[in-house]
Amino acid sequence: MIVAANAGDLQAYLADAHGEKVRPLCMCTPVGVPMYVAKVGEHYVIKRMPNTGDTHALDCASYEPPAEFSGLGGVKGEAIRENIEDGTTTLRFDFSLSKSGTKAAPAPSDEAADAVCADGAKLTLRGTLHYLWEEAGLNRWYPAMAAKRNWYVVRKYVLQAAAGKVFRGEPFGRSLYVPEWFSTEHGAGITQRRIAHMAELVTSKKARKLMIAIGEAKEIAESRYGFKIVAKHLPNFPFMLSADLHRRLQKRFVNELALWDSIEDSHLVFIATFGLMPTGIASIETLAVMVVSANWIPFEHAYDKLMLDALTVQNRRFVKGLRYNLAENKPLACVVLTDVLPRPVALYVQPPGVEQEDEDALSDLIGQSDLPAWVWRAGEEMPELPALTLARAGAPATRTTHTLDKVCTTAADATASSPDSGRRMD
């Protein structure tokens, strides 16, 4: 029997598979790749087994480049621990979500974390944002996504990415606030839902609780007694920050702020821990920012952005590498092209003026990798991109089977309106 991904009784089949601990097979390859069924809330979803992303076919929604092509490899297994028995993922942070008395919550260093530090056991604030972005599929691109991403879509998939994640035994989603898409017509309801979601911040009697906010910055401006960040979809609820925190923001994220200021089609995404003053005003404790393209894909410098633009114009499919806790001076693949056979190709962008030790580090990274490499040393003419050889250049497909009661379940092509709909079954 064939059961479509949108079949009304699909959840019943998945519930049976979950109860019997049956391992579905993703049939993107001739022999299949083992998956597992997890219960998230009241729904059952098919998830990729840990460390198997690169064993899926390139046109499968469950494909993921090897962890070493991003900063994920430095935190997976320690700061991020997956439990395939109950489908949860436990997160460990290097920042606090509470504040006792007048003692300030620990703030991330002004300097970027080094990849060799023991802090790989905990996610930084920026690393947390990168993790949610990747889990939401927002670092992926294929042509069918064109003109399909906006804040409504971004918020939806970031919140879905937070589902099933646990911090200190509590659902991570309870500590996460992502502003709704704003409309004047529904403004009163949006405000009431925000107040309800943040209610725990004002009812805690012991330590002062903090939450994590993720939003698109509309402006970072001076206020009467300090500074404030206004989120684009939260115009009447600014997040206040001290002059000292503003100074450290300007120092630590000078490059990101400059890119946001100079590239018109970019967005600045911020992640912050915050609490509520007795007056109901939000006060930021720690803060990090990330600049993203018009398609909400993160980039680190103007040459990075030129690469993303070139790939998008040529209708290519790729996965963007994210740093997580990795230091800024460590080499990192810009993207991994996933429309090239027989193997994906890692694309590296080396900004002009780099030191010889940086060139050596890049050469070492490429030499240790099993994937073919393409390098553009910015300042020189961009080499011709690897030719597209994968026939399917549209949205990736997820094909999944399980053997419970001899049932075959097939998930249709991921919908173009999603950043990466297949990831919801990943």
Give the tokens for residue 295: 């398609």
- pLDDT tops 90 at residue 253: yes
Q: What is the pLDDT of residue 120?
A: 67
H or E segment to which residue 254 belongs: helix 254-262
pLDDT at 349 over 50: yes
Q: Is the bond leading into 342 cis (omega within 30 degrees of zero)?
A: yes
Rounded to whole angstroms, how far apart are CA atoms 133 and 357? 30
Whether the per-residue pLDDT at 165 is higher than 50: the answer is yes
Q: What percent of the chain has pLDDT over 70?
A: 85
Mean pLDDT of 144-161: 96
pLDDT band at 59 (very low <50, low <70, confident <90, very high): confident
**Predicted local confidence at residue 105, as pLDDT:** 44
Please compute the mean of the pLDDT values over residues 99-113 and round it to a whole number.
Answer: 50
pLDDT band at 393 (very low <50, low <70, confident <90, very high): very low
Average pLDDT over residues 156-184: 95
336 in Cβ contact with 359 (< 8 Å) = no
Residue 73's contacts (CB-CB under 8 Å, 6 or more residues apart) are 66, 67
State the number of CA atoms in the 13 A half-sphere of 10 facing the CB.
Answer: 20
Q: Which CATH architecture has domain 302-377?
A: 3-Layer(aba) Sandwich (3.40)
As a dihedral over the C-alpha atoms of residue 352, residue 323, residue 371, residue 59, rounded to 10 degrees, the angle is -120
Structure tokens at 94: 């290097």
Q: How many CA within 13 A on the CB side of residue 280? A: 8
User: Measuring CA to CA, which residue among 99, 96, 82, 74 is closest to residue 36?
Assistant: 82
Q: What is the mean pLDDT of the chain?
A: 85
Higher pLDDT, 64 or 193: 193
Predicted model pTM: 0.87
> Which residue, chain included where needed, has tokens 């003109």?
147
> Would you state the pLDDT for residue 101?
58
Cα–Cα distance for residue pair 236/253, rounded to 1 Å: 25
Please tell me the distance from the alpha carbon of residue 362 to that of residue 329, in angstroms, as a whole number: 10
Which pLDDT value is given to residue 119?
54
Amino acid at 376: W
DSSP letters along 10-75, please?
HHHHHHHHHHTT---EETTSTT-EEEEEEEETTEEEEEEPTT-GGGS-TTBTT----GGGSGGGGT
Q: In this predicted structure, which of 167-171, 269-273, 355-359 has the lowest mean pLDDT?
A: 355-359
More confident call, 282 vs 402: 282
